[in-house]
Structure 1
Amino acid sequence: MTINKAVMALAGFMVLLSVVLTQFVSPNWVWLTVFVGANLFQSAFTGFCPAAMIFARMGLKPA
């Protein structure tokens, strides 16, 4: 798996998790979705992605 695919998989998982938590636990979990979306948006312009840095340290290969 490449870093790009791992970042997308993590982001998708976090969005789905936040939707489930928002529905069944508390509406405040929607802020997790907002955070994930904002992080994806800023990384598209700046190239800075903390998750990608973590995956690189874990040994995943760049795309």
Structure 2
Amino acid sequence: MCRENIVRMVAGIMILMSVSLAVFVHLNWLALTAFVGLNLLQSSFTKFCPLEVILKKAGVKE
């Protein structure tokens, strides 16, 4: 699996997890959803994603 697919998968998992936690635990978990969304937005402009840097250092191929 390539890095781009892993980044998208992790973002989707984080969003679904935080929405579930907001529904079943506490609404403050929606802050995590907002953080992930803002990170996706900024990476679309800057082409910088912290998870991609981590995956690159871990040796995941492009």
Normalised by the length of structure 1, the TM-score is 0.94
Q: Deviations over 1:5-61 (max 9, x none)?
A: 000000000000001100011000001000000000000110110011111111111
Unaligned runs of 5+ in 2: none
1:24-39 matches, cutoff 5 A: 24-39=24-39
Taking only aligned residues, the RMSD between alpha carbons, in angstroms, comes to: 0.6
Q: Corresponding residue for 2:17?
A: 17
In 2, the alpha carbon distance for the partners of 1:58 and 1:12 equals: 21
TM-score (norm 2): 0.96
The 2-side partners of 1:25 and 1:59 are apart by 36
Identity %: 48
Moved over 2 A (4+): none
5+ residue gaps, structure 1, are: none
